[in-house]
Structure formats: structure tokens, C-alpha cells
Structure 1
């Protein structure tokens, strides 16, 4: 097992929506060939968030090339992620993988004393050879304590889609979060990796509302892990964090049910859930959010003329599909034909689903050939799909939007609402220009 080259890149109206209940029988469940990235991809945004953490993938050269290509990094930059490459000797059982991994970690931590949190990230190759990274993490954490905490999670693409990498990472943090002090006052936790600028915007809004203390998971530094307990209320900022939410609830935290903070309406509803939980006066809430809400509505209106009435089809990719379809329908007047998602968390998505049109098909899982047949039959104005499907569909005359761009772009909150709408308007504008 050898270390790879370093890798890095230095709502107008009432806050309560009118809901329409959907039954389980309404969901089309697909089981077939899938077209998704693996969970290792989450490292590309997570390593920028946790500033003194390091993500060490235990995998193959293919894993290393994937991360380097997807992140667009320079190999001579100082890394916050890398790959311990499993060689032929490891696969053949000619070397002790645990000894080799210990050697790589020792070398890494000697070279990088600034690392305070080390994630061992499992991959398809490490899972195939049954390398027990959980036990390795416990052993290495004891060896390097108290300077470094070592955790592990799986980023394997065998059974997961790529945003589940973040879910697995954050879920691995929950057991080591400090317990809240006895008799602690209620605290709010924002759960999900957000760009720092977006996180700061939310923190300012909560401070203006008088809600506090407010913590974030993940924290920007390993020493700032938020406490958790029965007085913790948490808001999911990302819709793909089902395992993390379950782990927090197991520790006594209470999830605040809300729309996800996409667009003016979604962000208003998300903030309002916290305001209600913390007993904030309704008039004070409305006065605080009014400027940001109005900015968001004005920014969104610039794209309404181009998007209103257009038909959109979401192929399953990131688990962002349902909240984004709700935003596009509710605030821009688009018509979602089908909204596919890799996994459907009924409880977390109940309010989002209730705001979609009754005739929108909701599909869970993927059978790519069958779904492509439905796309071709529907001939939507815009198809949101993965990179591997976009070019073939464009060649057939369909207009597409790369789903992964919606994961990498700042799209949450009031001040990003216009940018989010623009991401969907841009492909249609490009199509119209090419036709001319």
C-alpha cells in the first residue's frame, strides 16, 4: 500500500404551505442499472469545509484519479485529501494491509502535524478485500491520541450514490460529538456542509432573530464539534442526510420539520421552523427576514419569464431533486413531469412532496434504460441528469442540465436564490441562442 501523489484544492404569503398528501402507491420504484458517481466524490467539498481534517481514501489508483480529476487540483498543492493505494501485493495477501496502512498514516501525520481529524475513507477495493477500517480507526486513534482523532466511513460506490458520502461522513462524527451539559438551554444545530459564505448568512439571520446558540455540523475546525443532547434542535440543510439525522435523533436531538432552504419560500419556511421552535414573535420574524426574502423574490423574477410553463424531467442523481422540483414549480412556474431520486426519505420529504403537482411522477431508484425511454417520450424542455447521460441526450436534441453542478454551487438561502434559478435558465438560453 503506497501513498498517492498529494491531492487538494488549496416566500410572499403565509409561512405554512398548503400540503397535498401522497401515498406510497404513488411512487414508481425502479431497480436496474444506475448512472451515478461514488461516495468518494463528497470529499471534494468536505475537505474545503473542515479546515484541519484530512481525508485518506484507502483505495486504488482509479480512486486517486477520480478525486484528482473531479476536483481539478494541482498535484504540487498542499493536500487535505489523498489516497493510500492498494497495490497488487495487498490484493494478493502478500502484505499485511493493516501494517501498510499504519505506515502510511504515521508518515502522513509526521509530515502534517496540523491535522487534527483524520478520516479513513473506504472504497470499493478496500471493501472487496474486507479491510476493517473501523478497527483500524480505533487502533490509530488510540496511537495518535490526543493530538489526532481518527474516524472512518465508507465512500464505496458499490451500493451508494455520491451524496451519501457526506451523509456517511457526518454520521461518523455524531458518536464523538460532546454531550450537552446538564440543564443546557435549547440550542440549534444546522446539519449539512454549506459554503462558508452561505453558512455565515444563516448565522447572521439566526442572530438577528434572537435564536442561539447556533452550531454547525460539520464544524470548520475539529475542536469546535457541536454538543448534542435532548435540548438540541436541528435543521437539515441538505436533503440527503438521512443516516446523520437518525444518529442525531438516537442521541436525543429533535429534528425540525421544514422545507429545505431553496428559494424565497423554502428558505422562509426553513427559518420559520426554527423561529417557532424557539418561541420567536411572528412580527419580529417577518421584519427580520423581509429584506432577504424580497431580494430573493426579485432575483428569481428575472428568470420567471424564461422558465414559467416549461416542462422539466429529473433523472435520479443527488437526492436534491424533490426540493429543487418544488422550488421550480412553486416559485418559477415550471411543470415537473417526473422527479426521480436515488432514495426517497418519506418523513424528510413529506412537505416537499405535498407541494408538487398531483400529476408529477415520483420515482425512486434507477433503471436508466426505462427512464431514458420516458424522457424521450415526454420530450421535456429541460432534463436534469448526470454527466454521462447529458451529452447523448443533447445529441438527440434534448436540452440538459448537469445535476452535479447543483451540488457544487452555492444554492441555499435568500441571497443565492437568483443564482439557483439562473442555473436552470442558462441551458434554455443557450438552446435558444444556438437555434438562432
Structure 2
């Protein structure tokens, strides 16, 4: 495997794209976006479906029948570049906006890059607003990161805030209970133990908190953990105080998405045990994730039999993608684990381009990716187009800016945003990913048969 840092200008969608899906997943939060006219226009433009993206990303944009509008709990504060910033001015406007909303438990001040350039200290303004409102107000700075911006930076920042708000009163580890898992977020889940699944217990069971992914994917994975006897105490993002899980010493925290790097750092600062494993994307990734997280939670289990069973059920779909050549130009941070899964399923991965490559969190993924795969960090989009033309892949997982040019050149493409909202995690997610690519190839073959 070759890892190249091209230090180029990658094609990355603005993290503001995640505003509307995040608002839908945090029903009691108010998202206040502070920026110039250009920032606000961009955020509003991103509320409509982009080329190749699902019409209703993550099922969150349907508001009173209007799937194309801005989420009602996303509001905007226009910053005038000609006005001199004064301390407390932005806080006053946040307070004024928040006063118009009922049932608000959390205010997230999303400060665009221009806010910092104009001299606004978003964290200070959020602190002032919190004192006067009497409820949590936190600043999110999705564009101000080092090491490359991803389109998913906003979710990382939001999960980090929710971790800060989560209580740290973790109870002493309990004796392992064979019948039930008391999930604070997911309710009381029955455990249907199966012979051969559980191979050993330490006598104590530590709670597990899942970070990231769609709520439906977290529920699916929680059922898999319940099957082997591991308690899932909750998951983030979630804005309701009663659903915020206890996170502190003794808690096992498992990130389901590789782009949650800052959030993972926060969990370690709180003394939690952060699971380092393959991400639960694909069959082998999910099996390894369950085994490693279970071990940290105090239970030794084997997922080999379950993984073989799932792979057998996916054989017809694997036959549809076996030997197909795939090129990744994505911008979400999911590229490496998705590439690993498609390679496991029989596809030929030509290149994995990603704006940011965190070798610490992706260490296990990179070690299993394969020697013939090229990984390009911070790729230059022009060079990417040239390499696509040179390799002529069967399908390109394209970032939004390259999607239309590649389709115009005759390439078969899937949008990185489509995979982001598909629900790629867990065993069921593995099926959804293979079904998506199988439909892609079948549709292309039907069009080719028409000889248009």
C-alpha cells in the first residue's frame, strides 16, 4: 500500500451541509449560524438536494411537507463586514433569536470562518449568551480545524459539545447479567444468547456508549451487542438531557465513524476507555468492532460464525461487484473503511482519496486495506481527474464538486453524500452498501443494452 500526501486542494463540500441533518437529529437544539451574506447563502443553498445526493438526506429535511427548505430550527445571524465587532453584540443577537423558540434545551452557535476573520470570539459570545439564557450555549467552529477540512466536521464538533454536556457519574461496574441490557437511549433490550457466541466473562460489565452514525444504525448495532451480552448505555448525538449517557472513568466509548477525531479526544480527556478497532463498516469490520468493544466491556466473544453467516447471505450481491474497479474521491472521511469493505467483497479498489488521514484512528483500517491500494491524502482535484481518466474505473465514489464533471465525461458515479446518508454501519449496513453498488451496475447494464 502506498500512502501519498499530495498537499493539494481537495474537492470538499462545506461542513455547513450537515446543518439540516444535525438539526433533525437534535430535536430540542437550536442551531444559530453566524456569518456573512455569502456564508448564509451557502448554507441555505445546501438545504436543497445536490447532484447525486439523496433528495432527503438522512430523512431529516421533511418539514411540513417541504423537503427543500431550511430546517425550522436552523436560524441565521447576518454579520456586516463593515461594522466593527464589539464584545457581547453577537451574544445579544443569539439571545434575541433564541427567545423566539420554545422547548429549547441547547443552543449551538455555528460560527463560520468569516466570523473569526471579522474579529468575533464565538466561544466568548456563547459563554455570555449562556449566562443570560440559563441554558447551554456552545460554539461550533467546523471550518477552523488543522489537518484538512471534511464535509462531516460539523458533526464531529457537535458530538464533542454533547460529550462536554454529558454527566460523568459512572456507576461501579456491575456483575454481568445474563438476561437484559439496560440501554438508557435504546430501552431495555432482551438478550437472546446463542451457543458459541460468548466465550468468557470477567465477572463485571462496563457500559458502552456509541458515537456517531445514524440513530437507526446505532440501534441495529446495539441489538448485536445485546446478542452477545454487552450493555449499550446510550449514543450520541442526542440533545435531550435525559438521553445523555454518563461518560467518565470506566465507560467504554466506541466511535462508529473515523471522522470523529476531536470528539474521541474529548472522551479520553474524561478518562473513558476509547475503543481502537476497525470501524463497524462491512462484515469483517463489524465483527472485529463487536469483538474489540466487547473485550473492553469485560466480555470475550467471537463473531467468526456470525460473520460467515452474513457473508454467505451476501454472496449474490458479491457476485455482482466482484472484479469491479472502484475509485474514491470522497470528502466525508468514510473512504478508507468503505474501500476496505469493498475490497473484502471482491472489488478492485484503485485509489482512496481523502482530505484528511488520521493515522492514529485509522491505524487498524490501513493495516488491513491491502498492498495494491493507493491512498492519497489531501489530493489535488485536478490530479484526481487525470488519474480517473488514466485508470478508467467502473465506478467512482465522487465528492460533490467532481460528481457532475465525471458524469459528463461518461463515468458511472455514486455520490459520497449518498453513502453518508445510507446507513453503512453494521451487518445490515453492509447489505445496503452492496445493494447500492449492485443497483448501480445493473442500471448501467440496462442502459447499455438499449444501444442509445
TM-score (norm: length of structure 1): 0.84
CA contact (8 A) 2:106 2:239 kept: no
Measure, in 1, the Cα distance between the counterparts of 2:69 and 2:409.
41
Q: CA deviation at 1:278?
A: 2.6
Deviation, 1:187, is 2.0
| Counterpart position of 1:82 | 75
Question: Residue in 2 aligned with 1:7?
Answer: none
Give 1:402 shift: 0.9
- The reply on whether 1:252 has 2:239 as its aligned counterpart is no
State which drifts further: 390-399 or 232-241.
390-399
Query: Secondary structure of 2:298's match?
Result: coil
- Alpha-carbon distance in structure 2 between the residues aligned to 1:269 and 1:171: 25
Whole-angstrom distance in 2 between the partners of 1:368 and 1:76: 30
Whole-angstrom distance in 1 between the partners of 2:445 and 2:400: 21
The partner residue of 2:166 within 156, 177, 184 is 177
CA distance in structure 2 between the aligned counterparts of 1:293 and 1:102, rounded to whole angstroms: 56
Equivalent position SS for 2:378? strand
Q: Distance in 1 between matches of 2:71 and 2:363?
A: 43
- Tell me the alpha carbon deviations over residues 24-43 of structure 1, each in whole angstroms, 9 at most, x when there is no partner: xx311011222111122222
Rounded to whole Å, the distance in 2 between the matches of 1:111 and 1:304 is 52
**Residue 317 of structure 2: aligned partner:** 303
Query: Partner residue of 2:298?
Result: 279
- Flag the 1:257–1:181 CA change in 2: closer, same or farther, 3 A: closer
Aligned residues: 399
Does the aligned pair in 1 maintain the 2:336–2:365 contact within 8 Å? Answer: yes
- Specify which of 153, 157, 161 is matched with residue 168 of structure 1: 157
CA distance in 1, matches of 2:441, 2:235: 36
Greater Cα offset, 261-270 or 317-326 = 261-270
Q: Which residue in the other structure is 1:424 paired with?
A: 437
Change (3 A) 1:277 1:181: closer
CA separation of 1:345 and 1:429: change in aligned 2, threshold 3 A: same
Q: Equivalent of 1:378, from 374, 391, 412?
A: 391
CA contact (8 A) 2:116 2:122 kept: no
Q: Between Structure 1 and Structure 2, which shows a larger proportion of helix residues? A: 1
* Residue 319 (structure 1) aligned with residue 333 (structure 2): yes
Summarize the alignment of residues 199-214 of structure 1 with structure 2, pairs less than 5 Å apart. Answer: 199-212=218-231, 214=233
The CA distance in 2 between the partners of 1:420 and 1:65, in whole Å, is: 33
> What does the per-residue CA deviation read over 1:50-86, in whole Å, with 9 as the maximum and x for residues that have no partner?
2211111111344334333433454888712121122
Contact 1:117 1:222 in 2 (8 A): no
Corresponding residue number in structure 1 for 2:25: 49
The CA RMSD measured in Å over matched residues stands at 2.5
How far 1:116 sits from its partner (Å)?
A: 0.5
Query: Where do residues 188-199 of structure 1 align in structure 2 (5 Å cutoff)?
Result: 188-192=208-212, 194-199=213-218
- 409, 418, 435: which is aligned to 1:396? 409
Q: Where do 5+ consecutive residues of structure 1 fail to align?
A: 1-21
Matched, 1:435 2:448: yes
Q: Distance in 2 between matches of 1:32 and 1:93?
A: 35
Deviation at 1:181, TM superposition (A): 4.1
Deviation for aligned residue 1:208: 3.2
